[in-house]
Amino acid sequence: MTTDSNTEANSPNPSPEPHHPEHNPLAIAFRYVRKFLNQTLRIEGNAHPQETIESIKADIDFQGYNVWILIFSILIASIGLNVNSGAVVIGAMLISPLMGPILGMGLSMGINDWATMKRSLRNFAIMFSVSIITSTIYFSLTPLVDAQSELLARTRPTLLDVFVAFIGGLAGILAANRRIKTNVVPGVAIATALMPPLCTAGYGLATGQWSFFMGAFYLFLINSIFISLATFVIVRFLNFPVKEFVDQVRAKRARRYIVAVILIIVVPSGYTFYNVVTESYFNRRVESFISENVFYDGAELVKKEVVHEEGHETQINLVFFGEPIPGKIIDSWRSKLGAYNLEGSVLKVVQPQSMDQMNSEEVTKLVDVFSKSQLEIQDKDRTIAELKLALEGERRQHLPLQQIHKELQVMYPRLHSVSMARMVEFTEGATDTLMMAELKWNAPDTTGLDAECKTIGRWLEARLQVDTISVQRKLVKLKPMEVELKGLKN
């Protein structure tokens, strides 16, 4: 026993103690991150269920002031859609009281309060009826009946609208659950666009365009149901007090109804979303085909249109104005459709020969193209004029010194050389350019040199077209050899 103990004590490499997981750096970092995320993202501890329930229930009813505010906001939104003003539509959504019954439906599903559900549905029906009647009356009376882009944007709901409505509903119920109220709920009303679809549906009824009515009504239904669904999810997640069903069979039936309604709403929007994505990819290929292949000198493309019709080939209509495009050119364009996966499409080229054969959109496009061309021409003319002025100034600054020296030596044989330069002078906060000329004379006899320098100065002013030239004279003494050579030259 003693020998074994001594052997273990004197062992050079005793076995290390196992490393405790609490001291593992990775485990410590993971616990810290988890704690940070829990403190940052946790919402359960900030919930105020009873206050939230009472607040939502108080906003459900549509009567008195709420009805009139809804009517006025619908009128403002209808005007904004009619004149294609997004700012006016957003202003109308800020004051509209549409969120109350919708949040009420989601709350009542979450807490099994079917009395509140009936109340919410009744007020939802009142809200819908008042909105449709108001917008229909407005669009029946207004002289502006053209469908603007703000109206058209509310006629084709897609799966993206489902996502926006659900996420907006999550933000709305979380904001309603806070004691300190913020501007999140009005922001949700703007993001999910509850009011414009109602106005667009009224426009469809007023003008007899049922596709507008059905598309806008469907978008409004999507937004309303998925805001309610988001409210239901958060209410259940935050464990709001739930009323128990006495009849469990009735509870299961209610849940089945909810799932069925959601599926009925989502499936058509998914199909529409698929069609929109497919059409977007097709239009992108059409744009690439046109930008890379369709051009002809002398003719301007003033309109391009893609027409999709059920049961028919897709048409790509191109409207040109200008010189007639030869058929061979058009055939060469058609032969390239397959390279862009457009072989099943029909390329149609329209070439109106007069303004009377063009519609207002084509005329407007042509006028825009002409105006743009005119502006480009004016810019080029202005640039050319500026370059001419700069070139003229550069020419003026260029001194023909060699020619001047030859001319002056003919008139003044005693003149040895001429030096000229421009000097920039800064005085009294302004700059001025002064011409300097230095005349070097080889003249033992200086009689008359001052007068000759003045004469040469005036001659240089006229010769170079400058206001003033500062002339200085300098005498040089030539070496004998230079004098002899100079005499030979003369």
- CA gap 98, 481 in Å, rounded: 109
Q: How many CB atoms lie within 10 A of CB 233?
A: 17
Lowest mean pLDDT among 5-19, 305-319, 339-353, 398-412: 5-19
State the chain's mean pLDDT as an integer: 76
Q: Which residue is associated with the tokens 């882009």?
A: 149
The DSSP bridge partners found for residue 402 are: none
Q: Which residue has the higher pLDDT, 374 or 236?
A: 236
Q: Is the pLDDT of residue 362 over 70?
A: no
Position 1 pLDDT exceeds 50:
no
Specify the pLDDT at position 246. Answer: 52
Q: Per-residue pLDDT averaged across 253-264, rounded? A: 74
Q: What is the pLDDT of residue 478?
A: 58
Model confidence at 191, in pLDDT bands (50, 70, 90)? Answer: low
- Alpha carbon distance 356, 359 (integer Å): 8
Residue 174: what pLDDT?
A: 77
pLDDT tens, 81-127? 878 777 787 777 777 777 888 888 888 888 888 788 888 889 989 98
pLDDT of 268-321, one tens digit each? 767 767 777 787 888 888 889 998 988 888 787 877 888 877 667 788 888 887
Percent pLDDT > 90 in the chain is 1
pLDDT at 175: 72
CA 23, 25, 26, 27 dihedral sign is positive
Q: Is 106 within 8 Å of 121 (Cβ atoms)?
A: no
Return the pLDDT at 396. Answer: 61
Residue 133 has pLDDT above 90, yes or no: yes
For the stretch 141-189, pLDDT in tens is 887 666 665 565 656 666 677 777 788 778 777 777 765 555 555 556 5
Going by C-alpha positions, the residue among 118, 82, 79, 80 that lies closest to residue 101 is 118
For residues 131-138, average pLDDT: 91
CA nearest to 135, candidates 86, 182, 190, 80? 80
What's the confidence (pLDDT) of residue 363?
55
Helix residue ranges, H only, 142-158: 149-152
Quote the tokens at residue 11. 């062992």
First to last CA, the chain: 133
Checking if the pLDDT of 4 tops 90, the result is no
Rounded Cα distance, 363 and 451, in Å? 75
Q: Rounded to two decimals, what is the model's pTM?
A: 0.54
Residue 197, pLDDT > 80, answer yes
